[in-house]
Amino acid sequence: MAPIRILVQCSIPFAEDDWHVGRFAALVETLRGLRQDDGSPLAEVTARNREVDASGRDPILASLDRKSWDELWLFAVDGGEGCNDAECAAIDAFQRAGGGVLAARDHQDMGLWLRKLPGVGAAHFFHAEPFRETDLSRCARDDQETRSIDFPNYHSGSNGDPQAISPVEPLHPLLALPGGRRITWLPAHPHEGAVVPPPGDARARSVAHGRSTTTGRPFHLSVAFERSSEYAGRAVAESSFHHFASYNWNPAVGAPSFVTEKPGTGLREHPEAMQHTRAYVENLVRWLAPAGRGRAS
């Protein structure tokens, strides 16, 4: 079977001292190393930053279609203004046509433009009104260390450390391991964003909860969207792109200079947590694949 064609896309143009797509090299390497049962590659991966033409559009994103891609792994690493209306319309049409979409952002208003996306975008909540969490008690700082970052900023641990996660019952295929086991570890981050199943959207359900190491408050880590008559493709809203950043998997590779929090070493010392993280990546690939390609459940 032909490999699943994945576009790993950052929402900013290349800038050396920022979260450009090279900062996700370990993820890309992991994706390219996945194998089908016959030993052939499971995925064919293209990794790129946002590049605009004279019209101000990214020509790849603005013409995104199922002829070229099966999945879009979208990392909203910008300060709030990333993809424009034409690109968002193409992303939405891609999912309606059967493409899988992973949309990940981070704290406060990073990736605020995701709210232009119907469905998966509506699962993301921000600092800016009117896109705050409806539970007003959550509209307060969680991470207290980095005072330049405001809510939502759930503190699940240090970069480079694992966080224990709680699968939401019934167990979603994204968190299933062989032999009836389950994924219970993902990379931590000092200030994760907020994702919540959009009220009234029957396609959406929470997959996993994290828990703040600062306040003990639980929060959603991942929201999954099933196929429907309107959307032939699945989608996942992720609370933080740091679950996939090379720095979070191994702080020794470095981060942009504006990352000032002291990293941890827990993932390096806890190999099972990295095994769970890579299993989660593979589950995402298979679950987001167009109908008839990955796992049906």
> Domains of the chain, with CATH numbers?
4-288 (3.40.50)
Residue 295 is predicted with a pLDDT of 54
The number of residues making up the chain comes to 297
Residue 296 is predicted with a pLDDT of 44
Task: Give tens-digit pLDDT for 128-154.
Answer: 999 999 999 999 999 999 999 999 999
Bridge partner residues of 44 (DSSP) = 5
Write the burial class of residue 223 (CB in 10 Å: 0-12 exposed, 13-18 middle, 19+ buried).
buried
Residue 135 is predicted with a pLDDT of 94
| Sites in the chain below the pLDDT cut of 50 | 296-297
Task: Give tens-digit pLDDT for 79-133.
Answer: 999 999 999 999 999 999 999 999 999 999 999 999 999 999 999 999 999 999 9
